[in-house]
Structure 1
Amino acid sequence: MLVSRRHFLQAGSTAAAVGLVGAPYVARAQQAQFTYKYANNLPETHPMNIRAKEAAAAIKTETGGRFDLQIFPSSQLGSDTDTLSQLRSGGVEFFTLSGLILATLVPAASINGIGFAFPDYATVWKAMDGDLGAYVRKQIAKANLYAMDAIWDNGFRQTTTSTKPINGPDDFRGFKIRVPPSPLLTSMFKALGAGPTSINFNEVYSSLQTKVVEGQENPIALVEVAKLYEVQKYCSLTNHMWDGFWFLANRRAWERLPEDVRTIVAKNINAAGLKEREDTEKLNATVQKELTAKGLVFNTPDPAPFRDKLRQTDFYTQWKGKYGDEAWSHLEKYAGKLA
C-alpha cells in the first residue's frame, strides 16, 4: 500500500512525536552483538515505520547497544513473496506481513479476513489479542516462524462505487467490483451476488474510469492516495474485512538471542504495535474528512443484513471446512455464530 507522506505525517500524535522523516531509516551498528534486518512494505512515513523506529531506538538503549535493528521500508528488500522467502531462509530476521498473504504458507492466517466477522475495532482486538490470535500464532510457529504477541493494524476494507451507495446486500447483486487476487474476497463477493474481477492495482484507476468495473474495495487511505475519488462517487463503510500485519521473526534467529535480549525486543515491538493501532485508526478518520471535502459521499450500512445474506449461501460453511472446527470456534467466540 503506497500512501502519501503528507497523510502519514498527519497521523495525530505520531507526527508530533517524530516530526519529519526523510530517507529510509537504518539504525547504525555501534559494536552491536546482534544486527538484525526488519523489512516491511509500507512507506517510511506510515505509522508502522515511525513506531518501529522508536522501538529500534528503545531496544538499542535498553540492551546497551547489544542489539541493533535495521529498518528497510517500502519493499526495499523485495516483494512480499520474496521477503517471506528471505525470512524463512534467515536472510531477513524480521518481517511484517498481512495474514491474507501469509496464508499461502499458514492457511489459518487469513481467518481474520472472513467477511463481516468483525463489526468494529473493539471486537478485532479482543479476538486477535485473545484466543483467535493465539491459535494463529501457534500455526505460524509450525512453519518455523515466530510471531510477536501484538498484531499490527492494516485496517478495515471499504467499498467505493461510481453508480450508487451500498446500503444493503441487494446493492451488490450484479455489481461489477474489482478485487485483488484473493480467493477469500472473490468467494465473499460472489456469495453476495456481485461480479468480482481480479485486476492489478496499477490498473484499477483506468478500469474504474472506463467502467470496466463499477467499484472497488480497499482501506480508505488507499482511496485517497490513488485518487480513486476522481472516478468514484460513493464510499460505503462496509467494514467487510479487517486485515492486520503479523510481526514475524525467523525462528532460528530469534532463538539465537539471549533470553534477556529477546524480552527487551519483544516488549518494545509489541508496545510499538499497540501505538501503531491507535495511529492508524486516527489516520483513517483524518483521511475520511479529506475525502468528504473532495466530494466523496460516505454512508455507513448495517452489517447484519450482509452477514445474514452470507449465511443463506455456503460461504461460511465452505470456509469453516477449510479452516477446521478448532479455528472456526475461536473465530465465532468473538464474531458470534456465522456458520
Structure 2
Amino acid sequence: MAITRRAFVRRAGAAAAALPLRPRRARAEGALPRMSMGSPMPQAHPATTCLAAALDAIRAESQGEIDIVLYPNSQLGSEPSMQSQLRSGAIAFSVTSVSSLQSLAPLAGIPGVAFAFSSYGPLWSALDGGDLSGRIRAALGKFGLHAFRVVDNGFRDVITGVRPIASVADLQGLKIRVPPSPLLTSLFKALGASPTTINLAETYAALQTRIADGMENSLPQIEATKVYEVQKYLSRTGHSWDGLWILANARAWEALPADARALIGRHLDAAVDTQRRTFAQMDADGEALLRAKGLIINTPDREPFRAALVRAGYYAEWKGRFGAEAWQALESYTGPLGA
C-alpha cells in the first residue's frame, strides 16, 4: 500500500483532504490508508464479533473507502505494547481494557475499584456521560487518545485449580493472574494473594503448567479463553468490574473529515449497544454453561472481602491516589466506599 500505517499520522493532513467518500479508484491510487485496530480479546468474545461486524458495515457503507482491520487475540502485542503503538500512530485504533489503561492514565482505572458497582444501571450512567466519564476521557486525551464508548467485560470472579475461594483465608498465598492493573494488583495483595501479571493470550499455558494457581475474569472471558479445561473451581466473588474503551489516535482521528468520523462513530456506537446486550446474555447463561463443563461453582459472601479491604487500607489508599474530587465523582454513582 502506498501509505503505511506509520506514515498515516505523519501524513494525516494530506490524507484527510482525500478521505471523503469517493470512488473506489481513489483508494487504488493510495490516497486512503488501511487502518488497524488492535485488541486483546479472543476471537469468540462479543467485543470481537460485534466490532468485526461494525467494521464490515463501515467498509460496506463507505464502498471500501474506510477500511479498518481488526486484529484480535493480542495479535499486535500485549496491551501495553498496543497502547504504545496507538500513541505513536503505528495503529489507528485499539480496544483497551480499563484495568490495563490505568498503567498509562491512572484515572482510567477508577471504575474497577473493588466492589464499587454492584449493577449495570449506575455503571453505564457513570461511563456514558457525566462528571466521572468526562474526567476519564480528559485523562486519556492528555496521552493523545480519543475515547469512544466502553464495551463490557463484566464483573470478575476467581477461577483456580487449587481450592474454591469461600473466604479471604482461601486466597492466602495463591498466585492469581491479573492484567497489568495497579488496582487489581493492589486488591489481591490486600487480600493476601500473590498477584502476577501475565499476557491474556499466555494465561491458558500458565495455568496449565501451574505458573499461576488461578486467574480472575468474567464468565464470558473464562469461557472464551477455555481456561475451564485446566482449572476446577469457580468462585463468584464479583470483586471488580472491567470493560474496554474503544480508542483512536487523536491526531489521526481529527485528521479524518467530518462525514467519515460520523460514519465510524455511528457504527461503533451501535456495536457497543449490541455488544453489551450480547455480553449480558452470555453472562446470564455463563454459570450453567461452565458448570456443565465440569467446574465446581460457589458464591461466597462478599462482605468479609470488602471488610478486609477496608482494614488493609485499600479504599483509603486509592482515594488518595485518585484524588478527592474524582473519588467524589465515583461515589456519586456508587454511594460511600470504604466505610
Q: TM-score range by the shorter chain?
A: 0.7 to 0.9
SS in 2 for 1:154: strand
Deviation at 1:251, TM superposition (A): 0.9
Q: Distance in 2 between matches of 1:70 and 1:231?
A: 32
Deviation at 1:96, TM superposition (A): 0.8
Q: Distance in 2 between matches of 1:87 and 1:186?
A: 25
- Cross-structure match for 1:206: 209
Q: Could you tell me which amino acid in structure 2 is paired with residue 218 of structure 1? A: N
Q: 1:68 to 1:294 in 2, by over 3 A?
A: closer
Superposed counterparts of 1:131-150, under 5 Å: 131=130, 132-148=132-148, 150=149
Superposed counterparts of 1:124-163, under 5 Å: 124-131=123-130, 132-148=132-148, 150-162=149-161
Deviation at 1:45, TM superposition (A): 3.5
- Cross-structure match for 1:178: 176
Q: Distance in 2 between matches of 1:161 and 1:45?
A: 22
Q: CA RMSD in A?
A: 2.6
Q: 1:101 to 1:186 in 2, by over 3 A?
A: closer
Superposed counterparts of 1:78-157, under 5 Å: 78-131=77-130, 132-148=132-148, 150-157=149-156
- Cross-structure match for 2:6: none
Q: Distance in 2 between matches of 1:282 and 1:198?
A: 30
Q: Distance in 2 between matches of 1:45 and 1:163?
A: 27
- Cross-structure match for 1:291: 290
Deviation at 1:252, TM superposition (A): 0.9
Q: Distance in 1 between matches of 2:246 and 2:187?
A: 27
Deviation at 1:298, TM superposition (A): 2.1
Superposed counterparts of 1:16-35, under 5 Å: 30=24, 31-32=26-27, 34-35=32-33
Deviation at 1:59, TM superposition (A): 2.4
SS in 2 for 1:42: coil
Contact 1:179 1:186 in 2 (8 A): no
Q: Distance in 1 between matches of 2:232 and 2:45?
A: 27
- Cross-structure match for 2:41: 42
SS in 1 for 2:209: helix
Deviation at 1:170, TM superposition (A): 5.3
Map Cα deviations across residues 247-292 of structure 1 (whole Å, 9 max, x no partner).
1111111111111221221111121012111212222334422221
SS in 1 for 2:210: helix
Contact 1:147 1:248 in 2 (8 A): yes
- Cross-structure match for 1:310: 309
Contact 1:178 1:204 in 2 (8 A): no
SS in 1 for 2:75: coil
Q: Distance in 1 between matches of 2:218 and 2:59?
A: 34
Q: List alignment gaps of at least 5 residues for structure 2.
A: 1-22
Tell me the TM-score normalized by structure 2: 0.79
Q: Distance in 1 between matches of 2:77 and 2:227?
A: 26
Q: 1:330 to 1:258 in 2, by over 3 A?
A: same
Q: 1:40 to 1:285 in 2, by over 3 A?
A: same
Map Cα deviations across residues 300-329 of structure 1 (whole Å, 9 max, x no partner).
334344323322331011011111112211
Deviation at 1:169, TM superposition (A): 4.0
Q: How many residues align?
A: 304
Q: 1:293 to 1:91 in 2, by over 3 A?
A: same
Task: Percent identity, please.
Answer: 40
Q: List alignment gaps of at least 5 residues for structure 1.
A: 1-28
Q: Could you tell me which amino acid in structure 2 is paired with residue 143 of structure 1? A: F
- Cross-structure match for 1:14: none
